[in-house]
Amino acid sequence: MIKAVKHINGGINSAVGEYLVNRLIPENDIQAVGPVVFLDHLYPTEVKSDAHTIPDGSFAHPHRGITTFSYVFAGGLSHYDSQGNFNQIGAGGIQWMKAGRGIIHDELPYATTPDRKFHSLQFWINLPSGVKQEAPEYMAVQPADVPEVELPDNSGRLRILLGNFGCTTSVIRTFTPQFIYHLKLNPKSTYRLPVKPGMEYAAFVPSGEVLINEDVIGKSKIAIFEEGGDEIEFRNPDIAVADVIIFGGAPYEEPIVSRGPFVMNTHGEIATAYRDFFDGKYGNIIYKKK
């Protein structure tokens, strides 16, 4: 049985520094999909920096209580943080950071092609209360290290960015049942994704248009699914490969309190997160070239 679409969301434009993004989660009564409490789509944009540029720190900011997950469609992305981590990824790579009890990070988009285009997504994934006070962690996953599987009937490929699909598992650590897949659907092809019972699902189409259970979804829109059903149908009517990001996980059962860059379980914990930041407990970033 097909898993029905409950809600289609076009997002709201928001400025993040000098960049324009489409904020898709949270939205109205949709506070989360599984553990995902935040999704920003940074539209394809021309960037000034290159791989050798060091940021000036003006975009550095703290987090506590979540993991951040940045996925690049085009261009490259540098990561710096107050634990001394630095790395860069290209298109198809992932910057993952467990903020835990507190960290400051800075991400700098840069150009890798003559058109100087950068295009990406960032998720915030909520941590269980018992993990929110753990030490921060960081991992950069290069494009070649993201596992992929071939889909039946030459319909395309599925990149397992987070979680698992069948016997194939992402290298990134998870703390609750959760997944992020990048479906690369071949021209004029159809794929039916089997869904796991008890999990919440959403699908995002960054550009172009795809038929999802016969609903046209595309151009930076997201489809959020009802409970029930055992598969989702994706159909690409176009003559070019279509990209779909499919994500979700087990429902987050604890209270969610979000303020600025912090996601905790109580208002008191939010107040403590801000106090610890202003008291300098998250450290400082030391910028350096790779």
User: pLDDT (tens digit, 9 = 90+) per residue, 200-214?
Assistant: 999 999 999 999 998
- Residue 78 confidence (pLDDT): 96
In this prediction, residue 289 has a pLDDT band, given cuts at 50, 70 and 90, of low
What is the mean pLDDT of the segment spanning 84-107? 97
In this prediction, residue 284 has a pLDDT band, given cuts at 50, 70 and 90, of very high
- Asked whether residue 290 carries a pLDDT value surpassing 80, the answer given is no
Percentage with pLDDT > 70 across the chain:
99
Tell me the CATH architecture of domain 5-278. Sandwich (2.60)
Residues 6+ apart with CB under 8 A from 244: 182, 183, 185, 203, 204, 205, 210, 212, 234
Place of tokens 């996953």: 141
Q: Mean pLDDT of all residues in the chain?
A: 96
Integer-rounded Cα Rg, in Å, for the chain is 19
The structure tokens listed for 86 are 């630095």
pTM: 0.95
The structure tokens listed for 252 are 């987050």
Q: How many residues does the chain have?
A: 290
Query: pLDDT of 9-43, one tens digit each?
Result: 999 999 988 899 999 999 888 899 999 999 999 99
DSSP 8-state assignment for residue 4: P
Angstrom distance (rounded) from CA 38 to CA 178:
14
